[in-house]
Chain A
Amino acid sequence: MKIAVCIKRVPDSETRVKIGSDGKRLDEAGVKFVLNPYDEFAVEEALQRKEKAGSGEVAVMCLGPAAAAETIRTALAMGADRGVLLQTDAIPADGFVTAQALAAELQGGAWDLILFGKMAIDDYNQQVGPMVAELLGLPCVTAVAHLEIDGTKGIAEREIEGGVEVVEFPLPAVLTADKGLNEPRYPALKGIMAAKKKALEVKPVQLGPGGIEVLALTPPPERKEGKIVGEGAGAVAELVRLLREEAKVL
């Protein structure tokens, strides 16, 4: 099994992010970056597939700044075999630009599977996986929560509103991983030490501007403090009056 996993370096979901002075990007000072949580499912799935097959390769691809090498090494510490960093300081807002760079790298790699997380938790775009599939002319199944592979055929389950959708597809294919697909392993201590010795190729990339420009980032408006109108049935009339006249929601 030859599997590529495309990953992204994202701010930790627990980090309190601040908007930078240009108002268009995050201030990265003091921000902790992690491997995108949905990508952890993709890495884990690749490792399990390779282990099951008894042989093969798991290669990790990442488009990002030099610091993203650390994110790649997290995946290597989990057990991936090698990494490729497509290095650029300007992370494009347009997923299509990222997809083009990744597809160019993946092209001709004879992959059985190309895995992504279903989305990055920083931009929530869910675009890059399907775009790469399109550029490579491969079938794509998104948000896979359960996966079975039998030879050159795969069956994926997707949790959709009110039910489960079962999709059959031929390999090679591009899949994006949803929560529930597996339980990602911790990078064990020996894995962390071994990751230092694994191959990590750094390839500088020049990207076009793409079709999307971020005009401004703004934090969500601060919520006003709530008001307790009263207690018990006696307070209902006043509550209804306030909802109608002040909040104007009734």
Chain B
Amino acid sequence: MAPKYQGVDFYDIDGLLNEEERAVRDTVRAWVDDHLMPVIGEAYIAGKFPKQLVPGMAELGLFGANLPEEYGCAGLNNVAYGLIMQELERGDSGVRSFASVQGALVMYPIYAFGSEEQKKKWLPQMASGKVIGCFGLTEPDYGSNPAGMITVAKETKDGWVLNGAKMWITNGSTAQVAVVWAKTAKDADSIRGFVVPTDAKGFSAKDQKGKLSLRASDTSELVLQDVHVPKDAVLPASGGLKSPLMCLTAARYGIAWGAVGAAMACYDEAVSYAKTRVMFGKPIGGFQLQQLRLAEMLSEITKAQLLCLQLGRLKDAGKSTPQQVSLAKRNNVSMATDIAREARRLLGANGILVEYQSMRHLANLESVYTYEGTHDIHTLILGQEITGLSAFN
């Protein structure tokens, strides 16, 4: 039997975590070992989200784990929440994406912008995994520029009528409820969020086929054609582009942690391979080129771990900024993609097989690099933060 995954902790970062944070991390790590790792390769090849894992994830309390207990959530701090994302993505970015969407993109906006009735109705059901959610912001022609969206919501006597299309929607075809963002007038300030049951008349979701990345995750196109929803479907406290961007900041925070998990998985695999694979009469880990690879990986992972932890502490203190989250998402996903690629290369021909993880992580991370604010967009956000000059307009 292969030795149990022990994580990567070169700087005793464990010593900076409290007992609950470590316990949460250990629970999720053990669950990933026992339930996710045995099925992920097959799910990836089959191009299917391993749906059978949802009840187990819900039972552990992984969905919306940083939201309050009164809504059926675990009420964890943001560092513990980040560690959950790290451990899930150690398994697979697609499974982490599922949890990110459920928690940060659907439960969070209902919690942050919803009425008390909406919170009571949806959050406990979503925490228990009985209801799956998706988040409709991105459109076919409006990815990095969501302000230009063309989906509209028109107020009628008894509610709203929604028209438009959304694309690249994780969980789209599995969800029972969608948080859809639409303009209620012409400008971006009129954007509001709507809680739309996916069985509403005129709502359809179609899986996007042919993905070479995030294959163990459902990605769909949503079409809304004269979808009628009642008055209370609108998230009352949502208003303007700022609202969906707040959701993205919440999700990006989890992604910054998740990417570290993927990088740790690749590094762990690379180290173990380098120590056991013999070439020219000695383990390849004894060659300088591979040692350079491993040393670079460990350095980047250690830096990213510390970055996440401090970002989490700032978030718990209510002091983190969206720009700080941008820096972490940009840095960590980029470093994780590089590490996955180098690990893949270190593994030689074996590295292209699904029984090893690195190439799966590499392919996944190419999506993570692009979604939730592309690497380039985060560069411009930081550029604006540094210079005070916007490169967008």
Find B61's partner among A70, A74, A188, A196 (CB 8 Å cutoff).
Answer: A188
Is B299 interfacial (CB 8 A cutoff)? Answer: no
The answer for the CA separation of A118 and B20 in the assembled complex, in Å, is 28
Contact of B4 among A14, A192, A196 (CB under 8 A): A14
Question: How far, in whole Å, are A154 and B35 apart by their CA atoms in the complex?
Answer: 33
From B3, B20, B59, contact of A193 by CB (8 A): B20
Q: Please determine whether B76 and A189 come into contact, CB atoms closer than 8 angstroms.
A: yes
Which residues of the partner chain B approach A14 to less than 8 Å between Cβ atoms? Answer: 3-4, 6
A192 partner, pick from B3, B20, B31, beta carbons under 8 A: B20
Q: Is the CB of B69 within 8 A of A186?
A: no
Q: Is residue B380 contacting chain A, with contact meaning CB distance below 8 A?
A: no
Residues of B within 8 A of A30 (CB): 12
- 52-81 of chain B: CB within 8 A of chain A: 59-62, 65, 69, 74-76, 80
A190 at the interface (CB under 8 A from B): yes
Q: Which 4 A-B pairs have the closest CB atoms?
A: A189-B61, A189-B74, A192-B23, A186-B27
Q: What residues of B have a CB within 8 angstroms of the CB of A74 in the complex?
A: 23
CB distance from A245 to the nearest CB of B (A): 27
**Interchain CA distance A215-B23 in the complex, whole Å:** 35
CB of A192 within 8 A of CB of B69, answer no
Which residue among B23, B30, B61, B62 has the maximum number of chain A CB atoms within 10 Å of its CB?
B23
Q: Is A174 an interface residue (CB 8 A)?
A: no
Beyond A73-B23, A190-B75, A192-B24: 14 further Cβ-contacts under 8 Å? Answer: A14-B6, A73-B19, A186-B30, A186-B31, A187-B23, A188-B59, A188-B61, A188-B74, A189-B61, A189-B62, A189-B80, A190-B61, A192-B23, A193-B20
Q: Given B23, B30, B75, B84, which contacts A77 in the complex, CB threshold below 8 Å?
A: B23
Give 30 CB contacts A-B under 8 Å.
A14-B3, A14-B6, A30-B12, A70-B19, A74-B23, A186-B27, A186-B31, A186-B60, A187-B27, A188-B61, A189-B24, A189-B60, A189-B61, A189-B62, A189-B65, A189-B74, A189-B76, A189-B84, A190-B69, A190-B74, A190-B75, A192-B20, A192-B23, A192-B24, A192-B27, A193-B20, A193-B69, A193-B74, A193-B75, A196-B20
What chain B residues lie within 8 Å of A192 (beta carbons)? 20, 23-24, 27, 74
Give the docked Cα–Cα distance between A190 and B62 (Å). 10
A186 to B28, CA, bound (A): 9
* Minimum CB–CB distance for B167 against chain A, Å: 33
Residue of B nearest to A34 (CB): B26
Listed in ascending order, the chain A residues whose CB lies under 8 Å from chain B are: 14, 30, 70, 73-74, 77, 186-190, 192-193, 196
CA distance A226 to B30 in the complex (A): 35
A188 contacts B3, CB within 8 Å? no
Report how far A226 CA is from B12 CA in the complex, Å: 36
Compute how far the CA of A189 lies from the CA of B21 in the bound complex, rounded to whole angstroms.
10
Q: How far is the CA of A77 from the CA of B20 in the complex (A)?
A: 10
* A-chain residues with CB within 8 Å of residue B74 when the two chains form the complex: 188-190, 192-193
What is the distance, in angstroms, from B106's C-beta to the closest C-beta of chain A?
A: 18
Complex Cα distance A30/B59, Å?
32
User: Which residues on the A side are within 8 Å of B80 (C-beta)?
Assistant: 189
Alpha-carbon distance between A187 and B31 when the two chains are bound, in angstroms: 10
For A196, list chain B residues within 8 Å (CB): 20
Among A188, A189, A190: residue with most chain B CB under 10 A: A189
Among A14, A77, A193, the one with the most B-chain Cβ atoms within 10 Å of its Cβ is: A193
Q: How far is the CB of B75 from chain A (nearest CB, A)?
A: 6
Q: Are B6 and A189 in contact (CB under 8 A)?
A: no
Q: How far is the CA of A190 from the CA of B84 in the complex (A)?
A: 13
| Closest beta carbon of chain A to B294's beta carbon, Å | 18
What separation, in Å, do the CA atoms of A73 and B22 have in the docked complex?
A: 12
Which residue of A is nearest B6, CB measured?
Answer: A14
CA–CA, A196 and B77, complex, Å: 14
Query: With a CB–CB cut-off of 8 A, which chain A residues contact B24?
Result: 189, 192
A213 to B31 alpha-carbon distance, docked (Å): 40
Tell me the minimal C-beta distance from B277 to chain A in angstroms.
Answer: 17
CB-contacts of B28-49 with A (<8 A): 30-31
Give the residues in chain A near B6, CB-CB below 8 Å.
14
Q: Which of B65-116 contact A (CB under 8 A)?
A: 65, 69, 74-76, 80, 84
Cα A70 to Cα B18 with chains together (Å): 11
For the complex, give the distance between the alpha carbons of A190 and B31 in Å. Answer: 15
Docked CA distance A77–B80 (Å): 15
Please name the residue on chain A nearest to B22 by beta carbon: A70
Q: How far is the CA of A74 from the CA of B65 in the complex (A)?
A: 19
A196 to B76, CA, bound (A): 12
B65 closest partner in A (C-beta): A189
Q: How far is the CB of B107 from chain A (nearest CB, A)?
A: 14
- Which of A30, A74, A186 is most buried by chain B, counting CB atoms within 10 A of its CB? A186
